[in-house]
Amino acid sequence: MERPAWAPRSIDISVPSVSRIYDYYLGGSYNFEVDREAARKAMEFMPGLPKIMQANRAFMRRAVRWAAGEGVTQFLDIGSGIPTFGNVHEVAQAARPGARVVYVDHDPVAVAHSEAVLAENADADVVAADLRKPREILDSPQVRALIDLDRPVALLLVAILHFVEDADDPYTAVAELSAALAPGSMLVLTHASYEGIPLPTERAGGAVDVYKDIRNPLIMRSRDEIARFFEGYDMVEPGLVPMPEWRPDTAPEDEDPYAFSGFAGVGRTA
């Protein structure tokens, strides 16, 4: 297997990666055949997976624009993935010049690309770290340099928590991150769920099994389980809803049915 020039030496290119599979769904080119194979296998069960990823990105852009409009100038994007068009820093800095953004990911390809994309951007940086270790993120030199935790921060957890198993206690990790943020901070979140998928659960379960097979289990949680991540936050209207229904730019009824899979929401601390 040819190792492309952009692939860090340290990565095993025979093992699929969630962030590179996501990149493939979004039409990116930073993925290997092993990632494309896993993606195609999952799409045999759920052909609308790329639509779900596009809906995630579209929600993220609307939420960042909205947060910036509400006066937030600092963004911490955990599980940020491989940079594609319309990243958080592009949206935030277009809305508020000087907005500061720190990306966090544990995939070396995602980190390497983010470093390349952000090389000329003094107000954005990337940290190689894991959501399950909040202190490593909060104490990183990049966060310390760019994010003032005494001022409001938008914490983005978009399409990431469903890759954290209950055994790794995602609720405690989110609570620990939230506790470090100043009043007026926001939590911007999306999460996969069987609710809303336009398929029988058994069939959607086939796609979930593909992720289990590549040792990146996809944890489908109910709306109530997802709502628990917002403890301590006041939900911003319209609450925890399918992605196209959160402050849409276009009529939700024009969206692909797959875009309504899972939930999205924004919370704000008093």
CA gap 136, 30 in Å, rounded: 27
pLDDT class of 5 with cuts at 50, 70, 90 = confident
**Would you say how long the chain is, in residues?**
270
Note the pLDDT tens digit of each residue in 37-74: 999 999 999 999 999 999 999 999 999 999 999 999 99
Q: What is the pLDDT of residues 10-45, one digit of tens each?
A: 888 899 999 999 999 999 999 999 999 999 999 999
Residue listed under structure tokens 């937030």: 72
- pTM (2 d.p.): 0.96
Count of domains for the chain: 1
Q: How far apart are CA 137 and CA 181, in angstroms?
A: 13
Token pair belonging to 126:
């990337």
Whose tokens are 């609710």? That residue is 195
263-268 and 234-235: which strand pairing? antiparallel
Stretch 6-11: mean pLDDT: 81
Give the number of other CB atoms < 10 A from CB of residue 162. Answer: 23
Eight-state DSSP code of residue 151: S
191 is a domain residue: yes
Cβ-contact 149, 74 below 8 angstroms: no
Structural domain includes residue 43: no
**Cβ–Cβ contacts within 10 Å for residue 15, how many?**
14
% of the chain surpassing 90 pLDDT: 91
Kindly indicate the confidence band of residue 2, based on its pLDDT and cuts at 50, 70 and 90: confident
pLDDT digits 0-9 by tens, 112-168: 999 999 999 999 999 999 999 999 999 999 999 999 999 999 999 999 999 999 999
92-105 pLDDT, tens digit per residue, is 999 999 999 999 99
Residue 224's CATH number: 3.40.50.150
Q: Which two tokens stand for residue 264?
A: 């999205």
Residue 262 lies in a domain: yes
Mean pLDDT, range 77-88, rounded to an integer: 92
Does residue 1 have a pLDDT over 80?
no
What pLDDT sits at residue 9? 82
- The residues with which 156 forms a beta bridge, in sequence order, are 77, 188
Closest CA to 163 of 16, 13, 11, 5: 16
Mean pLDDT in residue range 178-184: 98
Assigned domain for 1 exists? no
Q: Which residues contact 9 (CB under 8 A, 6 or more apart)?
A: 3
Look at residue 17 and tell me if it is in a domain.
Answer: no
What value does the mean pLDDT take over residues 203-213? Answer: 97
Backbone angles phi, psi at 123, to 5 degrees: -105, 15
Orientation of helix 18-25 relative to helix 33-45, angle to 10°: 70
Angle of helix 49-69 relative to helix 18-25, nearest 10 degrees, comes to 90
Q: Enumerate the H helices of 10-140 as residue ranges.
A: 18-25, 33-45, 49-69, 88-95, 108-118, 134-138
Residue 129 exposed, middle or buried by CB count within 10 Å (0-12, 13-18, 19+): buried
List all residues 6 or more positions away from 67 whose beta carbon is below 8 Å from its beta carbon: 75, 92, 154, 186, 188, 266
Q: Domain limits at 221?
A: 49-268
Sort strands 154-158 and 74-78 into parallel, antiparallel or unpaired: parallel
Give φ, ψ of 173 to 5 degrees. -60, -45
Give domain status of residue 243, yes or no: yes
Note whether residue 10 is domain-resident: no
Cβ-based neighbour number of residue 72 at 10 Å: 23
The whole-number pLDDT of residue 26 equals: 94
Q: Residues of 191-229 as b/e, b for ≥16 C-beta within 10 angstroms?
A: bbbbbbbebeeeebbebbebbeebebebbbbebebbbeb
More confident residue, 85 or 168: 168
Which pLDDT belongs to residue 264?
A: 98
- Residue 8 inside a domain? The answer is no
